[in-house]
Amino acid sequence: MIKFFLWFLPCCLVFTATGQKANYRQAERFLNLESLVGTTTIVPNSLKGTDKFWYKYETGEGVRYYFVDPGARIHREWFDRKYVAGEISRVTHKPINYKNLKISGFRLDEDGKTMRFTSEKVDFFYDLCSNQMMPVDSIKGKKKKQEQVKKNSVKSTKWIGTYSPDSCCTVYAKNHNLYLFFIEDSVEIQLTTDGVPNYSYAGKNRDTTGKMVTANVEWMADSKHFYVEREDKRGMASLYLVNTLGKGRPTLNEYKFAMPGDEHVQRNELHLFSVEQKKEVELPVEKWKDQTLTVYKAGRPTKNLYFLRKKRTCDEMEFCRVIPETGEVKVVIHEKCEPYFNDQLFKLHLLYEGEEIVWWSERTGHGHYYRYDKNGNLKNAITSGGWTAGKVVKIDTARQTLYFEAYGQEKEGFPYFARLHKVRLDGKGGVKLLTPEQATHKVHFLTGGRYFVDNYSRADMAPRSVLRNTDGKVVLELASPDLSRLYETGWKMPEMFTVKAADNVTDLYGYMWKPADFDSTRQYPIISYVYPGPQTEAIPLEFSVVTGFNNAALAQVGFIVVTFGHRGGSPLRDRWYHTYGYGNLRDYPLEDDKYGIEQLADRYSFIDGSRVGIFGHSGGGFMSTAAICTYPDFYRAAVSSAGNHDNNIYNIWWGETHHGIKEKVVAEKRKVKNPVTGKDSTVTIEKVEFEKPNIPTNIELAERLKGHLLLVAGDADDNVHPANTFRMVDALIKAGKDFDLVILPGQGHKYHGKALDFFRRKMWFHFGKYLLDDYSSERFKEIDAYMRLE
């Protein structure tokens, strides 16, 4: 064997690839650039419940701590790092790096002049006026630690559980059932008898045999009622994974997992109990078979109780109020939305302990907010227009103002950037834009409510942080990252572009990464990084060094790497756009990806449209395999990671929401005994069932594969089960196709550590071989194998 390698080695060394050389060395340099960036967003830490705050920020000069007083327009470094490090070292006798101070527990004394913090397990005082620092124990006249505020003067008892607001009783679980315990009389009453594993009243559904544990209990403010949420997973089927790593024999990991069309799925229940009656109050909660249920409460403790129920078909829901005294359920808001509700943006907010409701809806085709009274009467539309209102950031009930993110207000603008707006709850006066920059804005309101920290960036814009008032005016510039070391490596921002969808009408937006040594006179293969949605797209919306699986590093191998949206991909635009793929869960994004790449190849002479690759993870892994099989003469190579190739065995939410499930009413004849005559008679009972959807799979496309496909999966993936990949493998083998397969032991849906690095390199080598015709990765492996044998 050794002689064979000695003879073969020179052949390997003199081999010269006829295509372009893959620059793996440059790609390696781009793998771990995050450490060169430091902090990119500021999270304010309020002091004493005021507008004053501090924050920690790291750059190439180390960690610094800043103090900000918005009212006085003060923004400064909080203390002398070298002095503080020296004092900590003097007290603790440990070497301290002033550029990497580890400080926690900042708090400001009542006089506002003295700060306390902890470092190396020692508490320190810092006088902000004199800039003097000393350990707490050295302060003369300091009261001893036993003066700390006592948490509770009431003697603890053996009873655990959730106490009523008046502290007269507590509720806990034993053997999966509920027990009510009256403190004064020491009387225990069992309230339920139907609790069992996978249908338990106990928190986290754990085994409660012989022990008292906490239950999922919430008390009403009057201490007369409490409610419990319970999950029913008894009929749900299981999935299994084998733990192949570790010591000893492999073990089995079993978990409940509902798939599209399953007869038995998780059911959520709401149970209400009366303390006076010492029993459950019957609630007519269930209206639709296999509905989902979400509980909402208003007030602390709960004064008003609500729940939201949604049909399994995902196109109809009701918001209901519970009357505890009678067990009555009143429908407050009823809404339909075909083909399905936008789960990513839908939210409701209860104001004034439930007297008013802020409700999000796509009833006009764009998501907007509406205000209802407690009885479900529409008072007014809060927002409106041909754009989308997004997440609520803050509701100032005193000023009757709603602060929220919004998308796509400008016709020619990038429609995905979240920017902060404000509007009156009555909708009067219109909507005001507070963060005008075309970028993704992430804001943090300060405790006083008069200012907010605005962190904004985009994929081609460096992060910036400012302090604004509630009119959007910039009050102070805050710290910014130092990207100079990042740029020295050759790293560059991606470039934004726009193409048309295959309908030649809809605009699609994306970004492009180029090699650091890009030469516009050369031609490069193009690789599309994809994710089909419909709940999100792969487009980076803020600054990042490692978009995707590090698109910038992949580009260094010698490619143009792009990612862009497609119809059916994002919930941020409008209802038509994000529901485009309904009922066509496999094929809907493919045509747009192909047509977008063709446009880029026509537009830029440096793109070689005959050498096209595609890759993605999870849904993107599913899409990349579908693409190379659907357009086998267009895509030459694909990398498909953790793909849900058979959505019929993926989770119920993905398949039923986005592909659809149909109800059917089944007539069932039963014999019943007449209570008067005692004779049997036949009656017809109608019941609702669901038709199991038939979602198109990648397995069906296996025989169409022509190009070079690399399939990757983690054997511990409890999200997209590796059976998805194995079924694709089986279909390809039966079709007589050649392909590559990598299984990552012990890796779940998200790869990490050495396995992640290994996957990235395998992807580089795959595209290097089949898009650059550079087989040097194989040659290097053979040489390495020879050296190990020697």
Mean pLDDT of the chain: 90
| DSSP of 32-91 | T-GGGT---S---EESTTSS-EEEEEEETTEEEEEEEETTTTEEEE-S-HHHHHHHHHHH
- pLDDT mean over 265-279: 96
Q: Is the pLDDT of residue 507 over 80?
A: yes
Give the residue among 664, 666, 659 at the shortest CA–CA distance from 622. Answer: 659
Q: What is the pLDDT of residue 110?
A: 64
Nearest by Cα to 564 from 542, 524, 596 = 596
Query: How confident is the model over 196-231, as pLDDT tens digits?
Result: 999 999 877 666 667 888 898 999 999 999 999 999
Least reliable range by pLDDT among 110-124, 463-477, 486-500, 559-573: 110-124
pLDDT at position 332 over 90: yes
Q: Where are the beta strands (DSSP E) in 121-193?
A: 122-127, 132-135, 162-163, 169-174, 177-182, 187-190
pLDDT at 14 over 50: no
Asked whether residue 777 carries a pLDDT value surpassing 80, the answer given is no
**Cα 164 to chain centroid, rounded:** 35
Instruction: Show me where the domains of the chain are located.
Output: 23-33+486-646+697-774, 45-138, 662-691
CA distances from 635 to 23, 295, 512, 625 (A): 22, 48, 18, 10
What is the model's pTM?
Answer: 0.90
Q: What's the whole-number mean pLDDT along residues 675-688?
A: 78
Output phi, psi for 55, to 5 deg. Answer: -150, 160
Q: Residue 681's pLDDT is what?
A: 77
Residue 629's nearest CA partner among 594, 665, 580 is 594
Question: How far apart are alpha carbons 532 and 564 in whole angstroms?
Answer: 10
Q: Which tens digit of pLDDT belongs to each residue from 333-368?
A: 999 999 999 999 999 999 999 999 999 999 999 999
Residue 163: name the closest of 218, 222, 230, 202 by CA: 218
| pLDDT above 80 for 156 | no
Proportion of the chain above pLDDT 90, given as a percent: 80
User: For residue 145, what pLDDT band results from cuts at 50, 70 and 90?
Assistant: very low
Mean pLDDT of 682-710: 92
What class, spelled out in words, does domain 23-33+486-646+697-774 have in CATH?
Answer: alpha beta
- Measured at the alpha carbon of residue 293, what is the angle toward residues 292 and 296, in degrees to the nearest 5? 150
Is the pLDDT at 70 greater than 50, yes or no? Answer: yes
The residue count of the chain comes to: 790
* % of the chain with per-residue pLDDT over 70: 92
Q: Is the confidence at residue 154, as pLDDT, over 50? A: no
- Which residues are CB-contacts of 135 (< 8 A; sequence separation ≥ 6)? 91, 122, 123, 124, 125
Find all residues with CB under 8 Å of 592, minimum gap 6, and list them.
Answer: 501, 502, 508, 566, 567
How does DSSP classify residue 302?
A: B
pLDDT (0 to 100) of residue 142: 42
**Helix (H), strand (E), coil (C) string for 199-220:** ECCEHHHCCCCCCCECECEEEE
Rounded to an integer, the average pLDDT of 720-739 is 98
Two tokens, residue 665:
């009413």
What is the 3-state secondary structure of 394-408? EEECCCCEEEEEEEC
Q: Could you read off the pLDDT of 548-599 as tens digits, one per residue?
A: 889 999 999 999 999 999 999 999 999 999 999 999 999 999 999 999 999 9
- pLDDT tens sequence across 618-631: 999 999 999 999 99
Scan for tokens 């012990």, then name that residue: 746
CA of 196: how far to CAs of 177, 202, 208, 338, in Å? 8, 10, 10, 37
